[in-house]
Structure 1
Amino acid sequence: MVQRIAAGAAVPRGMLIADAWAQLGDTVAPLSNTSGRPLARTVKLLLDPLVLRPTLNPRFAGGLIGLAHVDDLRRTLLDAGPALAATAAWFQLLKKARRRAGITEGNPQDLYFQRCYELAHEHGAPHALPDADAIAAATVTDIRAERGDVTVDRLRRFMTDPDQVVKLAGILQNAWDDRPEPPHAPPDGLTAFLDTCPTRPDAHLWKTLVDRAVGTAEAAELDRPRVARDYGLTAREQPQPPELGDRASKRRLPPPFDRSIMERLFAAFTAVFHRESMGDIPSMVVGEIHRSAAPWQLADEPSRVAMALGRDASDGIDYWVDTTPTSDANAHLMARYSREEYVHAVHRQPDPESAKVPEALKREIMNVQEPYLRRLWARLHGRELRGETTTADTMWDLLDGVFRSVLLDQRDRLRRLLEREGDRA
């Protein structure tokens, strides 16, 4: 490791983390893979947000760590060793408590890693506590209660019941058959609102957009060939009625309009839900069926207006095209995009090197509107399920927050890709 560090100007972050992790030994084995490296979820749920904290420590954020910061990163991880060892021990106890309670749903790492880190800081290592088993059992019970009675397993059982399938298929067919004709587009006020929302959102103009159903009118174009596909909302030529579905995986979710009813609700169930905000499963499924047939496949007019605003705010943000901003919001997002060094780095790659970046990721980076609208739709869909309202005052936080989230996700995916390449080298 020392020789490899001395040979270059920087060190792959993954290699450096793995080297420091190995020095922690068997105490962190429950958080490690079979090769002795930290699990991907260990990095995602523990090391990045709670130990290295790259948002607060930008020197730890890149795929490559400068020589000046190598020792600092290693020392940070080693200093966290006792807390991580205690976290691993608590994780083992919580898994045993989970088995005793007969709980099978949910990934234990997703559910318990961060709570175990909290227990480690609150109580220290569990082996020194006479009531550690009771604390572990209570923690598992609390986490289960926080997830509520409406679970993915119950959703799947409901949606695969033969009698329910027949009823739900009829509701779905009727919902799509009864879709109304698109309204005539009212006077446009989207650009005027986008000019105000980053700094001084105009509540009166927002109300006008909602009252005149501008979002609904702007959704009419989605039924034209290739429009929704060009926005990244479907892989089909035009939106089609969704399937009911009987399975879902968060890793393989299709574009929003192509998701089954099961997949739409599954994506929301795996997010952080508050128990009191969730309805009963039958009403949620029927509501989702009707939502799928609505403009923008969203139920509330403020959500539809938000999609139209997001479409215009993200329009023209393309590395290959030098466009003039159409609004203040559009200018803000363009400026944020142009500051991202990874975007320029991907563009500068010579042809032989560019093969290392998957074509789908490269396309997202160079034309950011598609992933942006997909994530904006998912955010609005989740808000509707939780009963949250979208207002003029929250609009810019939503538009800008989704954009930052997309850029951070692209940056992280590219960083992990380069780390793997560095490890192979």
Structure 2
Amino acid sequence: MSAPARLTPASLDAAAAVLYPRAQVIAQAWQELGDEVAPFSNGSGRPLARTMKLILDPLVIRPVQNPGLAGGSLTAAAADELRERIRAAGGELAAASAWFLELKAARRRLGITDGNPQEKYFQRCYELARTAGAPTADADAVAVEVVSEIAQVSGDSLLSQVRHLLGDETEVSRLEAELAAAWEKRADMPRGEDQDAVLAALDASPRGAAGALFAALVGSDAGSSAAASLAADGAASALGLTVHALPPRPVVGGSASKRDLPLPFDRSIFERLFAALAGGAAPELAIDARGLVEEEILRAARPWELGEETSRVVMVLGTAASRALDVGDVPEATVAHRQLAARWRREAYVRRVLRLPAGLSGVPASVVDDVRTVRRGYLRRLWVRVHGRELREQGVESGDLWDLLDGVLRSVVMDQRQRLKNAMGRAASGDVGSEAA
């Protein structure tokens, strides 16, 4: 019989260096909780993406306070700590899951359809679990009260009021006339853009030092002046904001679908409101449906179809910074350009698409197209972000600038990664028809 292996300092170091995939550790710990957390789980028994985003990461794991638990790979000690945190929260997670079923049932009884119930209720369910425990005999009444409260302080009731308003033909005729008049009165701004000032602000923004430069651009109406160029044939289309050669006058509309929203400048007034408020408006948004629609009509007729000069300046800065994402070799003129380019080009799928012909990259055609036209996708998402902030009365401050510009690219990358992962999963299961087409 051979002697047992001696534990040397080197072997102990090697054992300590073994790393465990964070996602796998979470999945294993989660599966130990069993069927009681099924409402928070996907078909494979793993936590839903929204469970991770809204409950596990911010409320259970807390990676900001516990940075050792934040990485994609964990040491043995960190993996043990992460498992223990999830196990310790098992009772609260089970109670929160039960509350989610109660809140969904109350939502159905109240006839509420706007917004995603996971986004709206997951964190409140965990709060209920921690403060009240599992649902008891009065759970129905509590659930109705909570769901009604959330609806009152979110976009649910407001969007319902807008839909009701736009179901009145007389109101729609009046609003269409207001829209036509606002579109006719659009002011002609002098063309021009202080490129040096824009580059200076971009150079300073990642360091949080763009305050005075940003204020100067806003004070000189740099955003409105730059918007004059969008009147050139094909200019707005090249930025991914419309499919038309020139931005068309919007219609009032009255219906919308999250899966099939047009490009920003091609949306109806209702589609603009729906896109920004379907996930919930800020509690302090005190405005009625008529006022909301009338404000959006005025906003649609202003430069960049945005109401605030700060928002327009952000679009100018984003337009300049996003040149770093172009497929060709683009001079990376500022710190912002270099950091955006570095984030974009360190993605393996991006490097593969840019290096190889489309048919040889192994990347699905839809993702290849998005990589090669990423600047348009970036600017679309940036417009949506600043428009949403306007509607929620959360204006852009100079300190928000870099987080906004960089965060939009992170969002684009995460969306492309997920679609790539989904496409690869379909290919592995033999369901490749949609990508092949």
What interval of TM-score do these two structures reach, taking the shorter chain for normalisation?
A: 0.7 to 0.9
Identity, % of aligned positions: 46
8 Å contact kept, 2:269–2:296: yes
- The letter for the 2-side match of 1:386 is R
Determine the C-alpha separation between the residues in 1 that align with 2:211 and 2:88: 50
1:396 paired residue among 402, 406, 421: 402
Determine the C-alpha separation between the residues in 2 that align with 1:396 and 1:14: 29
Is 1:178 matched up with 2:220?
Answer: no
SS at match of 2:207: coil
Q: How many residues align?
A: 409
- Cα deviation, 1:141-191, whole Å, max 9, x if unaligned, reads 332232268521111111221001111111111122222223132644212
Determine the C-alpha separation between the residues in 2 that align with 1:393 and 1:334: 21
8 Å contact kept, 1:256–1:378: yes
User: What does residue 212 of structure 2 align with?
Assistant: 204
Is 1:167 matched up with 2:174?
Answer: yes
Is 1:368 matched up with 2:377?
Answer: no
1:250 to 1:45, Cα distance in 2 relative to 1, 3 A:
farther
1:197 to 1:181, Cα distance in 2 relative to 1, 3 A:
same
1:277 paired residue among 272, 285, 292: 285
1:388 to 1:113, Cα distance in 2 relative to 1, 3 A:
closer
- Correspondence 1:14-53 to 2 at 5 A: 26-31=35-40
User: What does residue 241 of structure 1 align with?
Assistant: 249
2:229 paired residue among 221, 228, 233: 221
Shift of 1:139: 2.3
The gaps in structure 2 that reach 5 residues or longer are 1-20, 432-437
- Greater shift after overlay, 167-176 or 84-93? 84-93
8 Å contact kept, 2:303–2:312: yes
User: What does residue 259 of structure 1 align with?
Assistant: 267
Higher relative contact order (CA 8 A, sep 6+): 1
- The letter for the 2-side match of 1:274 is A
- Cα deviation, 1:323-374, whole Å, max 9, x if unaligned, reads 2212222122112222223422445677556566142x22222342112111
Shift of 1:221: 1.4
Is 1:385 matched up with 2:368?
Answer: no
User: What does residue 6 of structure 1 align with?
Assistant: none
User: What does residue 89 of structure 1 align with?
Assistant: 98
Determine the C-alpha separation between the residues in 2 that align with 1:405 and 1:152: 26
Is 1:287 matched up with 2:295?
Answer: yes
1:54 to 1:263, Cα distance in 2 relative to 1, 3 A:
farther
- The letter for the 2-side match of 1:308 is V
- The letter for the 2-side match of 1:372 is Y
Determine the C-alpha separation between the residues in 2 that align with 1:218 and 1:168: 29
Determine the C-alpha separation between the residues in 2 that align with 1:307 and 1:397: 14
1:54 to 1:255, Cα distance in 2 relative to 1, 3 A:
farther
8 Å contact kept, 1:229–1:235: yes
Determine the C-alpha separation between the residues in 2 that align with 1:376 and 1:281: 26
Determine the C-alpha separation between the residues in 1 that align with 2:362 and 2:92: 41
Determine the C-alpha separation between the residues in 2 that align with 1:392 and 1:18: 40
TM-score normalized by the length of structure 1: 0.80
Shift of 1:274: 1.9
User: What does residue 117 of structure 1 align with?
Assistant: 126
User: What does residue 239 of structure 2 align with?
Assistant: 231
Determine the C-alpha separation between the residues in 2 that align with 1:219 and 1:326: 22
8 Å contact kept, 2:155–2:277: no
- The letter for the 1-side match of 2:235 is V
Determine the C-alpha separation between the residues in 2 that align with 1:27 and 1:287: 46
1:291 to 1:101, Cα distance in 2 relative to 1, 3 A:
closer
SS at match of 1:234: coil
- Cα deviation, 1:120-158, whole Å, max 9, x if unaligned, reads 3444433xx454444433322332232268521111111
- Cα deviation, 1:278-316, whole Å, max 9, x if unaligned, reads 422212211111211211111121211111111001113
- Cα deviation, 1:191-220, whole Å, max 9, x if unaligned, reads 222222222534433333222211111111
SS at match of 1:405: helix
8 Å contact kept, 2:221–2:309: yes
User: What does residue 313 of structure 2 align with?
Assistant: 305
- Correspondence 1:141-160 to 2 at 5 A: 141-147=148-154, 150-160=157-167
2:328 paired residue among 321, 324, 336: 321
8 Å contact kept, 1:97–1:140: yes
Shift of 1:390: 2.5
Shift of 1:16: 11
Determine the C-alpha separation between the residues in 2 that align with 1:293 and 1:227: 17
SS at match of 1:257: helix
- The letter for the 1-side match of 2:118 is Q
8 Å contact kept, 1:13–1:419: no
User: What does residue 339 of structure 1 align with?
Assistant: 346
- Greater shift after overlay, 397-406 or 28-37? 28-37
8 Å contact kept, 2:155–2:279: no
1:242 to 1:102, Cα distance in 2 relative to 1, 3 A:
closer
8 Å contact kept, 1:90–1:119: yes
1:209 to 1:41, Cα distance in 2 relative to 1, 3 A:
closer
- Cα deviation, 1:197-250, whole Å, max 9, x if unaligned, reads 222534433333222211111111111122111111112222111121110112
TM-score normalized by the length of structure 2: 0.78
1:415 paired residue among 394, 416, 421: 421
Instruction: Note the aligned Cα RMSD (angstroms).
Output: 3.9
- The letter for the 2-side match of 1:330 is H
Determine the C-alpha separation between the residues in 2 that align with 1:15 and 1:196: 40
8 Å contact kept, 2:323–2:330: no
Rg larger in 1 or in 2? 2
- The letter for the 1-side match of 2:183 is W
8 Å contact kept, 1:14–1:419: no
Shift of 1:103: 4.1
